[in-house]
């Protein structure tokens, strides 16, 4: 029964080959016709051998060779799989190596990466310096996202054949995907020397440059790729983030707006662009535009990052222009607001500002406050945050009060103070002014 089935398989293979390579194809040149005659002869000889023994390597090799040379991977693969299972004594070492190599190559072309790795790994044991073994083993690992294993394979492939095209691109990507950005850069450069139109290599190289701190070089590439239908949206996101970072908000807005025009942008990229664009709008005090974008994001993903918290925060800001100034205006407007805040806290008193110190974390204002009954030197420390301020900052402020010999100090925040911070003020000349009290005063201030 086994021989009967094998015989049927052999006859089927021969029939297919005759249909592919027979003389009835029409329109053949003299050379092509001769080639088909030779192939027909090979098939006839293979047929005779396989008729006697369906597992005869002298019959299987010629058929496999024809399939392989015509890149009929799905037909060649089972032939070489059958050959690979023959007893080793039936094949020479060179023949066994060729079988494993071709079996692996066919498997790669059919996306059967596990089978490819198995065959090519065995072939590697027989010849570790062969270019095709290393290249296709690297490709099988790469396609199955085993990038760490792919890297040494591609490197050995280049040692075997330094001028092989396409290898540098895969090696660059394998290094890039494993976050070896610096090592990936020369590989991408060589890949682009081979093919300047390779947009994927260009984008990955620019992203790797960004990760390595070369944003000023990468931005030129991202700007160039902004109109690209495939890499344009991601490039716009990178360009916008860079321009926002360097304070060029107008160009950042342009970058993000171009990115949103790409209809084929991935959903996650579109959300990230909208989120960043909203942040730029808030920085420019265009709160309404920012809120519109955040609500659009929320409609798509209600739990995206801190969108819900930002919506609550900026909805409140849109209803309180002074709170908006407090949190996001420039230093000049902020200091003016703080001075008015201090003045608004005292009735029937003379308030003279003695010193103003604007820092990156807080702003200190020292005031001389005089009434008919008392006179104090008081220092206000304004924190421009809506978060929670801890004991460490309160403790440091107390030391500052003592240093300048002020009578009293006030810590002002648009957020809250921790429980430890509150406890530290007990018995000390410090008052904590949290958001609720700050907002009450801001509502009566005109600026």
Q: Is the pLDDT of residue 270 over 50?
A: yes
Question: Per the structure block, which two tokens stand in for 338?
Answer: 């703080």
Nearest to 312 by CA among 413, 386, 244: 386
Structure confidence at residue 381 (pLDDT): 97
Is residue 384 a contact partner of residue 327, using CB atoms and an 8 Å limit?
A: yes
The yes-or-no verdict on residue 395 having pLDDT over 90 is: yes
**335 pLDDT band (50/70/90 cuts)?**
very high
Q: Just give the CATH number of 331-442.
A: 3.40.1350.10
Token digits of residue 392 = 């460490």
Q: How far is CA 426 from the centre of its chain?
A: 49
Q: Using pLDDT thresholds of 50, 70 and 90, give the confidence band for residue 37.
A: low
pLDDT band at residue 122 using 50, 70 and 90 as cut-offs: very high
**Which tokens go with 302?**
């209600």
How does residue 317 score in pLDDT terms, banded at 50, 70 and 90? confident
What average pLDDT does this structure show over 435-441?
92
Mean pLDDT of 178-186: 97
What percent of the chain is modeled with pLDDT above 70? 90
Evaluate the CA torsion angle 90, 91, 92, 93 in order and state its sign: negative
Neighbours of 3 (CB within 10 A): 10
DSSP string over 395-413: HHHHHHHHHTT-SEEEEEE
Contacts of 179 (CB under 8 A, 6+ apart): 211
Mean pLDDT of the chain: 89
Quote the pLDDT of residue 330: 86
Q: 48: helix, coil or strand? A: helix
- Answer whether residue 2 shows pLDDT above 50: no
What is the side-by-side strand order in the sheet with 430-433? 350-358, 362-370, 375-383, 408-413, 430-433
Can you list the positions of beta strands (E) in 147-222? none
**Quick one: pLDDT at residue 6?**
45
Predicted confidence at residue 257, as pLDDT, reads: 96
How many degrees, rounded to 5, is the angle at CA 205 between CA 184 and CA 247? Answer: 125
Residue 36: predicted pLDDT: 55
- Report whether pLDDT(16) > 90: no
What percent of the chain has a predicted confidence (pLDDT) above 90? 73
For residue 174, pLDDT beyond 90: yes
Please tell me the pTM assigned to this model: 0.69
For residue 8, pLDDT beyond 50: no
184-193 contacts at long range (C-beta below 8 A, 24 or more positions apart)? 184/208, 185/209, 185/212, 191/166
Positive or negative, the Cα torsion across 344, 346, 352, 354?
negative
Cα separation of 329 and 144, whole Å?
51
CA dihedral 150, 153, 157, 162 (to 10 degrees): 70
Rounded (5°) CA angle 149-127-155: 40
Say how far residue 314 (Cα) sits from the centre of its chain.
Answer: 29
Q: What is the rounded CA–CA span in Å between residue 78 and residue 84? A: 10
Write the CA distances from 377 to 134, 262, 373, 374, 409, integer angstroms: 78, 59, 14, 11, 9
176 DSSP 8-state letter: H
Which residue has 């209600």 as its token pair? 302
* 6-10, 91-95, 406-410, 435-439: the lowest-pLDDT one: 6-10
Under 8 Å between Cβ of 88 and 97:
no
359: pLDDT confidence band, cut at 50, 70 and 90?
A: very high
Please report the pLDDT score of residue 41 as a whole number: 77
Average pLDDT over residues 278-305: 93
The pLDDT score that the predictor gives to residue 9 is 45
Q: Decide if 306 contacts 270 (C-beta within 8 A).
A: no
> Taking residues 422-428, what's their average pLDDT?
95
| Top-confidence residue, 373 or 138 | 138
What is residue 236's predicted lDDT score, i.e. its pLDDT? Answer: 97
Does residue 432 have a pLDDT over 90?
yes
- Residue 328 CB contacts under 8 Å (≥ 6 apart), including other chains: 282, 283, 285, 317
- pLDDT interval class at 35 (50, 70, 90): low
């Amino acid at each position: 029964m086994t021989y009967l089935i094998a015989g049927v398989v052999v006859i089927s293979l021969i029939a297919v080959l005759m249909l592919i390579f027979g003389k009835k194809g029409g329109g053949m040149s003299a050379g092509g016709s001769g080639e088909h005659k030779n192939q027909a002869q090979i098939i006839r000889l293979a047929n005779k051998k396989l008729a006697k023994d369906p597992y005869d390597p002298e019959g299987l090799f010629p058929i496999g060779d024809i399939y392989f040379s015509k890149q009929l991977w799905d037909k060649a693969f089972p032939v070489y799989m059958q050959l690979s299972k023959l007893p080793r004594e039936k094949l020479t070492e060179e023949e066994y190596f060729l079988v494993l190599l071709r079996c692996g190559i066919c498997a790669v072309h059919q996306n059967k990466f596990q089978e490819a790795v198995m065959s090519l790994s065995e072939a590697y044991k027989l010849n570790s310096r062969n270019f095709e073994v290393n290249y296709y083993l690297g490709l099988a690992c790469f396609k199955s996202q085993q990038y760490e294993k792919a890297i040494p394979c591609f490197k050995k492939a280049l040692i075997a054949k330094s001028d092989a095209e396409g290898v540098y691109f895969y090696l660059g990507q394998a290094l890039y995907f494993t976050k070896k950005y610096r090592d990936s850069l020369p590989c991408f450069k060589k890949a682009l020397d081979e093919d300047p139109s390779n947009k994927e290599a260009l984008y990955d190289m620019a992203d790797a440059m960004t990760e390595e701190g070369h944003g000023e070089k990468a931005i030129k590439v991202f700007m160039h790729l902004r109109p690209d239908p495939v890499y344009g949206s991601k490039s716009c996101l990178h360009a916008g983030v860079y321009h926002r970072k360097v304070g060029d908000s107008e160009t950042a807005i342009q970058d993000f707006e171009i990115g949103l025009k790409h209809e084929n942008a991935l959903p996650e990229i579109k959300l990230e662009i909208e989120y960043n664009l909203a942040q730029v709008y808030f920085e420019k005090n265009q709160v309404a535009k920012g809120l519109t974008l955040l609500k659009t994001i929320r409609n798509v993903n209600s739990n995206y990052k801190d969108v819900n918290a930002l919506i609550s925060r900026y909805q409140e800001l849109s209803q309180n222009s002074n709170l908006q100034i407090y949190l996001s205006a420039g230093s000049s407007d902020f200091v003016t607001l703080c001075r008015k805040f201090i003045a608004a806290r005292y009735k029937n008193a003379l308030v003279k500002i003695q010193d103003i110190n604007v820092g990156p974390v807080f702003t200190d204002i020292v005031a001389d406050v005089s009434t008919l009954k008392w006179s104090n030197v008081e220092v206000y420390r304004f924190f421009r945050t809506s978060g929670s301020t801890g004991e460490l900052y309160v403790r440091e402020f107390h030391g500052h009060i003592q240093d300048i010999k002020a009578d009293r100090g006030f810590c002002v925040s648009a957020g809250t103070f921790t429980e430890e911070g509150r406890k530290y003020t007990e018995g000390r000349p410090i008052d904590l002014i949290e958001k609720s009290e700050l907002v009450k005063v801001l509502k009566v201030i005109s600026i």
